[in-house]
Structure 1
Amino acid sequence: MASSFLNCRVSCIPFIYLGLPVNANPRRTSTWEPLLESLRKRLGVWGNKYVSLGGRIVLLNFILNAIPIFYLSYMKILVQVWKSIRQIQRDFLWGGTKRGKTISWIKWDVVCLPKSRGGLGVRDVRVINISLLAKWRWRLLTNDNVVWKEVIRSKYGDLAVGKVVLGDECKPWFASLWWKDICSLGMNLSHNWFA
């Protein structure tokens, strides 16, 4: 009755809102599959007939790395998903979209180095993910009165806002996965954060 009154459809959880799955578990690869499929579809449209190596680097940096930004700004990337995205990027860089095995002429770590240090300047997706999630921590430290901070404060307590280090006292058992990821950012920004 409510859906007919509001002229909207009835759906179930999880659902997509503004491109992100709502109430989906970011620890499952199935949550990330639409993103991976979107990357693969985009490559299928481009083809490889007339795209040079320089053109593929530009497409990697400005198109392929831009597609997952919305996901990466809210969810911690899984290692399997990061490896899949890296494989998609690597295959496109060295062979375009043609099928079959391609030769990687340079290690991916070198490809991701800045051009000033001898790399190709391709941005690493997991570094982008850390920086986008760190922006939430930075916003918690600023002194503005926005609604989402009030929600965080009412759910996790006054200690959750305005602190540089968010310890276990800010991470109750009922905390969301997003909040746990935000809290764990400051503790270990090393490689094991992605394990």
Structure 2
Amino acid sequence: MTVMDHSAHHTAAAHDHTAHQGRADHGGHRMGQVTWGAAAKATLHCLTGCAIGEILGMVIGTALMWGNVQTMVLAITLAFVFGYSFTLFAVLRAGLDLKTAIKVALAADTVSIAVMELVDNGIIALTPGAMDAHLSDGLFWSALLGGFAVAFVITTPVNKWMIGRGKGHAVVHAYH
């Protein structure tokens, strides 16, 4: 094979590989062809777990009269715990063993939860007075819910991109 033939062969092989990547099916989602609806559904799934954990953490931290930092750490920790648990229970029901189910949940949700928590807590921290607001204050709830709304809008394209590459929630779809 001449150098020119080898180069042409290599280019054709790369082209075929690229074409295959665009058609690969990962758990019902064709790579590169993920709908916004699928991404929004994955984000909403994640948001639900995050919201439950974060609100519970805020309530517990406030009830125990903890400071802002301790309460935020608890809220973020519980957001990850609840976010992971939704996926964990779903894949355990699908028949995975615990070790594999934990790996799937970590692969599916880590980036999504991290982006969501970063955005949501950033908004709460940057909203004047929100960190010192009490659970009975409208400012607390509007900052929290507003943070979740913005986090949803920012995290949905992240999930769309990840699912389109066979990562994130695409990992879970193989077990549904």
Structures share fold, TM-score greater than 0.5: no
Q: Answer 1 or 2: higher relative contact order, Cα 8 Å, separation at least 6.
A: 2
Q: Higher helix share goes to which structure?
A: 2
Structure exhibiting the larger radius of gyration computed from Cα positions: 2
